[in-house]
Structure 1
Amino acid sequence: MVHLRKYWPLYLMVLPGVAFFIIFRFIPIGGSFIAFQDYSVFHGIKNSPWVGFKHFEILFDSPSFYRILTNTIILGLLKVVILFPVPIVLALMINEVRLSLLKKGFQTALYIPHFLSWVIIAGITFDMFSLSGIFNTLRDLFGYEPNLIMQQEQYFRWIYVLTGIWRDAGWGTIIYLAAISSMDPQIYESAIVDGASRLKQMLKITIPLLLPTATILFLLDLGNFMELGFDHVYNLLTPMTYSVGDIIDTYVYRTGIQEMRYSFATAVGLFQAVIGFILVMIFNRLSKKVSDGGLW
């Protein structure tokens, strides 16, 4: 209680974040029960009949489910393999900029896209690759035929990755830059005395000291491996790219909101959450074996 009175401003700052997780993360967990019911909005959770694993059986027997699961896994792998390292590389590059004004300019330019909604990002992307957009205008200048790549399956996943980098890579550098700034400058001074170049300082000091932070963030990202961002994917989808872009998030929206199959959509969402939890448990254990770091 004494600690609470002494540091009450800090607890007050934490309160909105705690309230967010309680309202939007913990309380909705109670609604997961309807995955095992034939839920009706008229009967409510209490009076809706229990059906056991009926909706999970329907899910696993559905031929479209495996296509959607495959799309989700592929985009999840691309997100982890390509998107995750980009903020680390950017943070290392920004850290090497010596001019303070130029450094802040780069940071601001990289942060700004994060504050744009996916509706705006998708709108800009569609405009860039439209018939009159900059992409096809340049193709025309070099004598090539127009190419509507937003309507073609083979380009959708790479557009997903590139727009993800454009919007969120800069924002992801914040934690890494904070970790770099907290590193002991005496280590770098010792390295300079020993004749280490800037490149060697980065490879031998900065990157190894950054690995624990990267490990924690990697484990947190794995928890969201199956959650690719509904807004991101949905706003980039077209009828021609559904076969490669339809994922669990969009499937839940379509079955739960549009078709009002609440119990089935909850079953899909619960399956998604369980997979994320299992991945975090597995990789957290592996992280502890390989290094001393982990989530707990």
Structure 2
Amino acid sequence: MEFGNRTIAARNGTKTGRRRKRGGIGAKEQLQLMLIMLPPLILIFIFSYIPLYGVLIAFQDFVPGNPILSFDGSTQWVGLKHFTDFITSRTFTRLFRNTLVLSGLNLVFGFTAPIIFSLILNEVKISSYKKLVQTASYLPYFISTVIAAGMVLSFIDTNGLINRIREIFGLPSKAFSMDPNCFPAIYTITNVWKTFGWDSILYMSAMSSIDMNLYEAAKLDGANRVQQMWNITLPSIKPTIMLLLIFAIGSVLSTNTDLVLLLYNPAVYETADVMATYVYRDSLLGGRFSFGTAVGLFTSVLNFTLVFIANFISRKVADYSLW
């Protein structure tokens, strides 16, 4: 009897081992997965890590054609001179303020708009209408930034659609594109309109994985749809919200440079000129490559620091973090 029990146990153990072997990932499968990841890793190394060598020119008076690093004395090292020149320049305060204002507006409205849109759309029960609205919200994202900026500039022109509507109500025409006070609103509305539909995809995906039994239980307890949204849907997508918020805070000193360059003009530099556009004009067009690299490195270090701070606060307060 004891032998029989041991035999049965051994058979069960063998079956369990076979099931584990079938369910696990073998060495061959792991090798295949690593080989699949090899091309992206090579591309990241070539285009993201090797160019970091060029950051050295931020500490030099670099002249195109000269080697970045040499031992014959042709490399002119200046230390932190370009960083000091930028921080102590007359334009630093304006650039830093404008960057924070535009990024802050985009963080407040551009980050919350996809969440609100997703919560509202999730309550729509007619699937055909829901898919139509989703598709319509994605379309602006696929419009070229150049075309989107051209559309906006034509709308806010003195003879554009916005001023035509103003004239209907007896209001005078206004050159919105030449008014510095209007630029932050124009930039923010354009950026939110272009990206909110695409950004809502992650939230909609997170909502699709919520257990429907939670909603049924809430209905039995008498919860209305707003209460279900607040107590079930929103807490369920909280991890996604926190992770994306960390990334958003980490890029608070990086604006949508392409959009700013296409929308602004010298008349609105007071509120539209940001660090990235200043680097484009002064460094790339002006030939001050070392200075532009220093400003870019300064911005990147600050963004990197903000990511760490946001991640630390999120881990302590909400118990969600990137690491």
Which category of TM-score, normalised to the shorter sequence, fits these structures?
A: over 0.9
**What per-residue deviation string (whole Å, max 9, x for no partner) do you get for residues 242-267 of structure 1?**
11100011011112210111110000
Asked if 1 retains the 8 angstrom alpha-carbon contact of 2:140 and 2:195, the reply is: yes
Which of 29, 36, 40 aligns to 2:63? It is 40
Partner of 1:172: 199
Asked if 1 retains the 8 angstrom alpha-carbon contact of 2:106 and 2:192, the reply is: no
**What per-residue deviation string (whole Å, max 9, x for no partner) do you get for residues 213-242 of structure 1?**
100000011111111111011111012111
**What per-residue deviation string (whole Å, max 9, x for no partner) do you get for residues 191-231 of structure 1?**
12222221111010111111111000000111111111110
Matched residue type, 2:51: P
Partner of 1:132: 159
Matched residue type, 1:55: H
Shift of 1:58: 1.1
How is 1:277-288 mapped onto 2 (pairs within 5 angstroms)?
A: 277-288=304-315
Which of 37, 42, 50 aligns to 1:27? It is 50
Aligned residues: CA RMSD: 1.9
> Could you say if the C-alpha distance between residues 183 and 277 of structure 1 is closer, same or farther in structure 2, counting changes exceeding 3 Å?
same
Partner of 2:90: 63
Which of 137, 141, 147 aligns to 2:174? It is 147
Unpaired runs of at least 5, structure 1: none
Asked if 2 retains the 8 angstrom alpha-carbon contact of 1:4 and 1:11, the reply is: no
Q: Using the alignment, how far apart are the partners of 2:139 and 2:45 within structure 1?
A: 29
Matched residue type, 1:239: P
> Are 2:229 and 1:205 equivalent residues in the alignment?
no
**Secondary structure in 2 aligned to 1:46?**
coil
Which of 104, 117, 121 aligns to 1:90? It is 117
TM-score (norm 2): 0.86
Partner of 1:247: 274
> Could you say if the C-alpha distance between residues 238 and 196 of structure 1 is closer, same or farther in structure 2, counting changes exceeding 3 Å?
same
Partner of 1:5: 29
Q: Using the alignment, how far apart are the partners of 2:118 and 2:255 within structure 1?
A: 23
Asked if 1 retains the 8 angstrom alpha-carbon contact of 2:250 and 2:310, the reply is: no
Asked if 2 retains the 8 angstrom alpha-carbon contact of 1:72 and 1:248, the reply is: yes
> Are 2:113 and 1:120 equivalent residues in the alignment?
no
Shift of 1:16: 6.7
Q: Using the alignment, how far apart are the partners of 2:48 and 2:259 within structure 1?
A: 20
Shift of 1:133: 1.4
Shift of 1:118: 1.6
Identity %: 39
**What per-residue deviation string (whole Å, max 9, x for no partner) do you get for residues 14-60 of structure 1?**
66765554444333322111111111222121132211111111112
Shift of 1:8: 4.0
Which of 80, 84, 100 aligns to 1:53? It is 80
**Secondary structure in 2 aligned to 1:63?**
coil
Matched residue type, 2:200: T
Q: Using the alignment, how far apart are the partners of 2:63 and 2:47 within structure 1?
A: 22
> Could you say if the C-alpha distance between residues 295 and 73 of structure 1 is closer, same or farther in structure 2, counting changes exceeding 3 Å?
same
Partner of 2:14: none
**What per-residue deviation string (whole Å, max 9, x for no partner) do you get for residues 148-174 of structure 1?**
111101100011110011100111000
Q: Using the alignment, how far apart are the partners of 1:26 and 1:173 within structure 2?
A: 31
How many residues in Structure 1 have an aligned counterpart in Structure 2? Answer: 295
Runs of 4+ deviating beyond 6 Å: none
Q: Using the alignment, how far apart are the partners of 1:203 and 1:9 within structure 2?
A: 40
